[in-house]
Amino acid sequence: MTYSPLWAGALSLVLIHAETGCQHAAQQAAKLLAHLADEEGMESETRALCERASERLRNQPIIAQHHV
């Protein structure tokens, strides 16, 4: 199976979160990364990286945002 669309989606959401602070993007990225980590055939180093990134995104403190 090719993971390109999942990787692209996760990276896009991580960037949206980094650029805007959007917590919804962070949570969606965390879900995609967790899904990637659960895929059979994923290399152990990549699996660990996905799990670590997913956990970090899920556990970030929520910062109030003021939209103009």
Task: Go through 13-47 and write b for each residue having 16 or more CB atoms within 10 A of its CB, e for each that does not.
Answer: bbebbeeeeeeebbebbbbbbbebbeeeeeeeeee
- The string of pLDDT tens digits covering residues 35-59 is 999 999 899 999 999 999 999 999 9
The stretch 29-37 carries a mean pLDDT of 96
Mean per-residue pLDDT, 5-33: 95
Predicted model pTM? 0.83
In this prediction, residue 2 carries a pLDDT of 66
Average pLDDT, the chain: 88
Give the C-alpha separation, 4 to 28, whole Å. Answer: 16
State residue 68's pLDDT score. 45
- 3 vs 57, residue with greater confidence: 57
Q: Which two tokens stand for residue 10?
A: 């996760």
